[in-house]
Every structure is written in C-alpha cells, then in structure tokens.
Amino acid sequence: MKVTVLGAGSWGTTVASLVAGTNETTLWGRDLEQMAEVREQHTNSKYLDGFTLPERLDGTADLEAAVSGAHVLVVGVPSHAFRSTLEAATPFVHPWIPIVSLTKGLEADSMMRMTEVIKDVLPGHPAAALSGPNLAKEIMAGQAAASVIATEDLQVASALQAVFQQGLFRVYKNHDVIGCEMGGALKNVIAIAAGMAEGLSVGDNTRSAVITRGLAELSRLGEAMGGEVATFAGLAGMGDLIATCVSKHSRNRYVGEQLGQGRSLEDILDEMKMVAEGVKTASSVMTLAGRHGVELPICSEVDGVIRGDITGDHAFRGLFRTAPGHEAEPG
C-alpha cells in the first residue's frame, strides 16, 4: 500500500516514519533542501534533530509525484494551510481514497474541523482524524504511545488502524469524529493556560485545577457540538490534554509558560520553528462557545491574553475572582 503524508514538520515526519515500517511511504514538504535531506540523509534536522528516519521513507517537494497513486493520503500541515494544501493536491488524488487529518485545530474563517474541510474540498472521500497523546520526539525515540483513528465508517477505521498501528504505537478505533477533533483542538487552548500557570509559578495545585476545569470546558463545548461524553474521557480528550499540558515537548504549554513570564506573544512565536495551534484556535473556540451558548471561563481568559487585552497574571486573578458554584457548572 502506498501512503503519502503531506507536511514535513515533526508530527508529519513521525507518522510517515511509523507508517513506512510496513508501507511504501512518501513524505511531502515545500522545502526542496529539507526533502532532499529526508530522501538522501534520512534525517529531518529542522524538526527532529538527532533522529534517524527509515531508509525506505521517500521525501519529495513535488506534490504531483507525492500524491499520484497514493492509497491513503495523510495531511499534517497547520490548520491555516490545510485547505490550500488539499486544494493543490486535489487534481492528483486517486478517487475515493481515505483522507486522514493529523491537524488539531479549526479553520479560522469557517470554524470547520479538519475532516469537515476534507469533505468540503474532496466530497465523497472517507475523512478521518488521527488524534491522541502523541508527542513526536517520544514516539521517534521508540517509546510506547496510543492514539485514536476516528471516522464514521468503522470498516474504513479498521483498514486505517492496520496502516497506522506499528510496533509500540497502539491505535484504537472511534466513530465519534466530532469529539476526537474537538478534544484535539480545545486541549491546545487549555495547555496555554496550564503553561501560564507554570510560568507564573502558581504551583502544582493551581495547574491541576486548570487542567481539570479545562477538561470540563472541553467536554462542555464538545458535547454541545455533538461529541460524545465518553470520548472526552479517552485518549483524544483527557489523554491528549494531560500530555499537552505537562510535557516539556508541548508547543502550546511552552507558549503559555513564556506568556506567564511576561514575554510578548510576538517574540515567542518569532523564535518558534513550529506552529502552536492553540494561539489561533482560542478565538475560534470563543466564537463557537457563543454560537452554542456555552461558558468557557478558562478559554476566555486565554483568548484575552492572546489578543493582548490582559496579562497572564490578570487572567489568573480573573479566574479566581468568580465565586465557585457546583462542580458541574462553569467557573
């Protein structure tokens, strides 16, 4: 089976490396030099410095060559480039093949989830999302991890499960695409809040409270949008949230930590090689919350910090000014 992965960042490269264990696999990226390095030196020093890629993994900057003949197309570019990349690939996509999203975010203008973008650009193709607590460098180091392949058609899910499950990378099936994608998008916003707690040195008790109440917010909006409650207690919900909020490898946690230390968002983003999806997602999440009549106090404070309306310190003071009610209620 030929699998093509679009997007040569850390996660796209990691997934391509996994899949190459048992499949003919091509990794596509825009940078000619980077893709030559993947193909000839079997490394991706920009995003995964120190790791060796499989020799059988091909790399190319030629989109037509990458996509033509693929039996599974995997898209791992940032959310702001997801639609344009898929549209550019469309003339070369084989009819009816499954399209899998690795991207944990929302399209800014439409508020669409990535599988919704897939269905919009390539109607008729099965759309799926791979989501879970999956930190690229740990997986490249050979450490065990688990993920979820989410698509409405469980026969398609079974076929994709066989593609992605490799070695110690364990893949479960789930039909709740909405829940899995919303869990993956919202946890990035909560991770910024958890990072701010760390940057402000407010203690592990506070950080634990932020993560737990953040899970409640994630679940509340996800359910309002049609997700299932069990999903938010699983790998694509709580599992991904914990990993993103506490790991030193988490980009969104890092952004929050630096904001908590008083740095400007512009300076933080300028020094980063990779995209922290939570920065762009915060505004979209608040728009969706308003649309569905859901209160999200933590996400609201994060959005305020990102927009520059308040500081991280003011955000935390704001959260604790609200009198707590029942634990099942917002706040």
Confidence class for position 328, pLDDT limits 50, 70, 90: confident
234 and 264 part of one domain: yes
Choice among 43-57, 79-93, 172-186, 276-290 with the minimum mean pLDDT: 276-290
- Mean pLDDT over residues 122-150, rounded? 97
241 and 207 part of one domain: yes
150 and 277 part of one domain: no
148 and 198 part of one domain: no
- Mean pLDDT over residues 64-88, rounded? 97
Domain boundary among 143, 175, 207: 175
CATH number of 78's domain:
3.40.50.720
Containing domain of residue 38, as a range?
2-175
Domain boundary among 175, 199, 225: 175
For the segment 185-229, what is each residue's pLDDT rounded down to a tens digit? 999 999 999 999 999 998 899 999 999 999 999 999 999 999 999
Residue 255 in any domain: the answer is yes
Confidence class for position 276, pLDDT limits 50, 70, 90: confident
**Helix/strand/coil (H, E, C) string of the chain?**
CEEEEECCCHHHHHHHHHHCCCCEEEEECCCHHHHHHHHHCCCCCCCCCCCCCCCCCEEECCHHHHHCCCCEEEECCCHHHHHHHHHHHHHHCCCCCCEEECCCCECCCCCCEHHHHHHHHCCCCCEEEEECCCCHHHHHCCCCEEEEEECCCHHHHHHHHHHHCECCEEEEEECCHHHHHHHHHHHHHHHHHHHHHHHCCCCHHHHHHHHHHHHHHHHHHHHHCCCCHHHHCCHHHHHHHHHHHHCCCCHHHHHHHHHHCCCCHHHHHHHCCCCCHHHHHHHHHHHHHHHHCCCCHHHHHHHHHHHCCCCHHHHHHHHCCCCCCCCCCCC
Residue 150 in any domain: the answer is yes
pLDDT of residue 277: 86
Structural domains in the chain (count): 2
pLDDT of residue 273: 78
Considering the chain, what is the average pLDDT of its residues? 94
146 and 198 part of one domain: no
Confidence class for position 320, pLDDT limits 50, 70, 90: low
pLDDT of residue 88: 98
For the segment 49-74, what is each residue's pLDDT rounded down to a tens digit? 999 999 999 999 999 999 999 999 99
219 and 146 part of one domain: no
231 and 252 part of one domain: yes
Residue 327 in any domain: the answer is no
For the segment 227-267, what is each residue's pLDDT rounded down to a tens digit? 999 999 999 999 999 999 999 999 999 999 999 999 999 99
- Say what percent of the chain tops pLDDT 70: 98
Q: pTM to 2 decimals?
A: 0.94
- Say what percent of the chain tops pLDDT 90: 89
10 and 152 part of one domain: yes
66 and 136 part of one domain: yes
149 and 276 part of one domain: no
202 and 126 part of one domain: no
pLDDT of residue 12: 98
CB 296 within 8 A of CB 224: no
153 and 187 part of one domain: no
Residue 71 in any domain: the answer is yes
Domain boundary among 132, 147, 175: 175
Confidence class for position 331, pLDDT limits 50, 70, 90: low
| Catalytic positions | 187
